[in-house]
Structure 1
């Protein structure tokens, strides 16, 4: 598969299936850039309603340029999209769908706690083709092995030791650090090195260049 990281939680996953390539874009949010020019999308998948995961203002033009793309959203994001008049499908716990012959399972639950006094929103994790997992803002555990984990690196809801333990629990072949926009570059590099040093021995931590499609 090929993965393009557009910053923070936004990634394009391309998977070949039956002679064609499925193009799935996750979490085009306010901290991400470059996804606006992507064309030929089969789906846009949104994990939750926080603006760093869904930029409603830029989503409209993106969908206008990708009229065939399905929009898959959790219940919280669905409300935002409905208010904005944007077409979408709502999926939650136990949901399954197929996009361009690629199966996707929804691993739904709550967003990780930022603080007990703040409201907790819904969060969809997406397991694509039983191979690549985008957990959103929660340490969602799959029921079986995962080939590629899109690994949260930093955020107000997490500390790096939790990300390391999550990486160990999932134990993928490869981990791609995401959700890093709130960290200074030096801290991004520190966290990435901790993943390499303390993650599973068999796991390759692959940091992607911004906007560059990379085989993972």
Structure 2
């Protein structure tokens, strides 16, 4: 499995010939125009840092065979723009080119009590990678590779580290860090490396623009 981080939560995941794009949101608008050969687009929830509708149209124009898989909440916004999608929510599963995709509905973490929260669906890509979206809910099975949220208005870095310790993946890498200044990445990427190794979890500080094999 090769993972390229365009930025924030926007990843290109290559597995057995399948190319999956996750959460093309507002923090990676410039990168979207160059995205090619995508088979699947996975969108976890309807917040602008995870879905940018103009970019969706651009990506689909450049990748006419790509299919969007998402939940009903995101689907409502897509339908209003005439964009086709397939529901993948709850605990439903689907297979594309023999690669299993599995949904895991999990509540978006609270920002503040008066702020309404969208439906949030995490996704398994094969049994290896779990991406929870904006949730710190423990999935119902063991995790080999975790896309770990490390920053946001709905979490602290301590909560992210505690979540990783609860999930206990073999490896994890950071997401939800698109708004973190370069000079602050040492905290958001460096501290998890230091803390999680003591829990026998390898934290890999994947930065925007980098690709790694897992």
- What is the TM-score when the length of structure 1 is the normalising length? 0.93
Summarize deviations over 1:61-82 as a string: whole Å, max 9, x none.
2112112111011111111111
Give the Cα separation in 1 of the matches to 2:117 and 2:142: 28
For the 8 Å contact 1:153–1:188, the answer to whether it is kept is no
Q: Secondary structure at the match of 2:130?
A: strand
Q: Distance in 2 between matches of 1:54 and 1:48?
A: 8
Residue 56 of structure 1: aligned partner: 53
Structure 2 match to 1:12? 12
* 2:63 maps to 1:66: yes
Tell me the SS of whatever aligns to 1:4: strand
Q: Deviations over 1:7-47 (max 9, x none)?
A: 1110111112xxxx111110000011423312211100000
The aligned residue for residue 177 of structure 1 is 174
- Cα deviation code 1:136-168 (max 9, x no counterpart): 000132222212111111100000111001111
- Which of 2, 20, 24 is the equivalent residue of 1:24? 20
Q: How many Å separate the matches in 2 of 1:100 and 1:212?
A: 26
Deviations 1:61-113 (A, max 9, x none): 21121121110111111111111111111222111111221111111032110
Question: Which deviates more, 186-195 or 114-123?
Answer: 186-195
Q: Does 1:107 align with 2:136?
A: no
- Counterpart check, 1:215 vs 2:207: no
SS of alignment partner, residue 130 of structure 1: coil
Equivalenced residue count is 212
- Give the whole-Å Cα distance in 2 for the aligned partners of 1:169 and 1:26: 24
Of the three residues 129, 136, 144, the one matched with 1:132 is 129
Residue 202 of structure 1 and its aligned partner are, at CA, apart by 2.5
Distance in 2 separating the partners of 1:12 and 1:190: 25
Q: CA RMSD, aligned part only?
A: 1.4
Q: Contact between 2:24 and 2:32, CA under 8 Å: does it hold in 1?
A: yes
Unaligned runs of 5+ in 2: none
Match of 1:203 among 198, 201, 205: 201
* Runs of 5+ unmatched residues, structure 1: none
Rounded to whole Å, the distance in 2 between the matches of 1:198 and 1:164 is 8
